[in-house]
Amino acid sequence: MYQATTEELLTKEIIDGGILNPKGFLCGGVHAGLRYNKLDLGMIVSETPASCAAVYTTSHFQAAPLLVTQNSIAKEGVLQAVVVNSACANACTGDQGYEDALRMRSLAASKLGISEHHVAVASTGVIGEFLQMEKIEAGIEEVTAGKSEGDMQAFQTAILTTDTVMKKSCHSAEIDGRTVLVGGAAKGSGMIHPNMATMLGFITTDAAISSEHLAIALKEVTDTTFNQITVDGDVSTNDMVLVMANGRAGNHSLEPCHPQWTVFVELLKVTCASLAKQIARDGEGATKLIEVMVTGALSNEDARKTARKIVGSNLVKTAIYGADANWGRIIGAIGQSEAVVNPKTVDIALGKIKMLEGSKPVSFSEEEAKAYLQNDMVEIYVDLHMGEGTGMAWGCDLSYDYVKINASYRT
């Protein structure tokens, strides 16, 4: 069973919190007309320049907004705003797409009176279509960044595509005697798979930390959260997680030698893990969240690989959708893992229901297992009995509705 770390116990969830809880951040969203009747353009603003870090899709076809954001961050590792649109990914759009992304950056910078390279750009939606720049320009001019709950909901809604719910998270911890907050908003529902998931994630924190050390923390956290979710095995062109840290909490600047460095990393991790699980739960057509916990691996990386393999298996996903306690499908997924596995020492359980011990079947109640699989969250536990490595991954079941949604995505 999962045991919380000491650092995790030092963090506190802010119920209904999000990107506006950390000090010094504003946001908003508007309907620019890119979508028929939904909000489709949003902006996050830090009241002061903020350290920043980002991770991006591993796709060979990184979209224009990602290239522009990388250009902005490379200048001095500082951002003050992010402008985001939905409905159009601005991916595979050549030189025009890149110029349009630069234009988005310029328009936002001009509106806010800040340097262009202090603005990041993100887009999500249909690949291969050009941005309607007249609408983008009007939307940027119209959007107002504020501090209210309505402003936060407007931003969170504006970044959604096939999502059915908004994703938000916020946690706090005491560092250097100051309350430090990390808040986040994300979108993601389909084309979810490591590395990274098809998603956009925006994280704000009032912690004082340099861009260099923020990048170290984000890389570590991404490997155990966003890179551990999968819905359908497809990677997108626009995936990005971006963090801004404006230092308004007043703590001493964080770095790996800081006595509470691990507390900050855990604070970032629990916020990102919450967003990751919300994305997995909202997988297109999904009815259940699947959480896989692997212990006893030779290394943490082996455990993460095994957990990802299980949660990414279409056979496992369809069995859980149908409430079929077929542990053979879990074994099949483990057998395909790149991790070191002893085929004679594997234990498997669905929740508290043991099904396999030492790779030998254990008698269990099919009725009890079926009833458990009817829940909207299913936990799979695997012990490889090879070492001390642990890892988790999240995904969802695979339903008929997934096919329906993606068969008519553009219509």
Catalytic residues: 198
173 and 264 Cβ atoms separated by less than 8 Å: yes
Helical spans, DSSP H, in 312-389: 314-321, 327-336, 366-372
79 and 49 Cβ atoms separated by less than 8 Å: yes
Residue 260 corresponds to which tokens in the numbers above?
């509470």
DSSP of 230-281: ESSS---SS-EEEEEE--TT-PPPB-TTSTTHHHHHHHHHHHHHHHHHHHHH
Residue 127 corresponds to which tokens in the numbers above?
């690949």
Strand partners, 43: 28, 83
Whose structure tokens read 């506190």? Answer: 12
Per-residue b or e along 311-338, where b marks 16 or more CB atoms closer than 10 Å to that residue's CB: bbbeebbebbbebebbbebbbebbeebe
Distance CA 108, CA 115 (A): 10
DSSP character for 118? G
Give, for 291, the enclosing helix (H) or strand (E). Answer: strand 289-297
Residue 152 corresponds to which tokens in the numbers above?
């936060």
Measuring CA to CA, how many Å separate 176 from each of 21, 208, 211, 250? 19, 11, 19, 9
Distance CA 246, CA 208 (A): 6
Distance CA 22, CA 44 (A): 12
Is 16 exposed, middle or buried (CB count within 10 Å of its CB: 0-12, 13-18, 19+)?
exposed
Measuring CA to CA, how many Å separate 359 from each of 11, 149, 220, 344, 347? 38, 51, 33, 5, 6
Q: Helix, strand or coil for residue 10?
A: coil
Q: For 76-199, where are the E strands, in sequence order? A: 78-85, 119-123, 167-175, 178-187
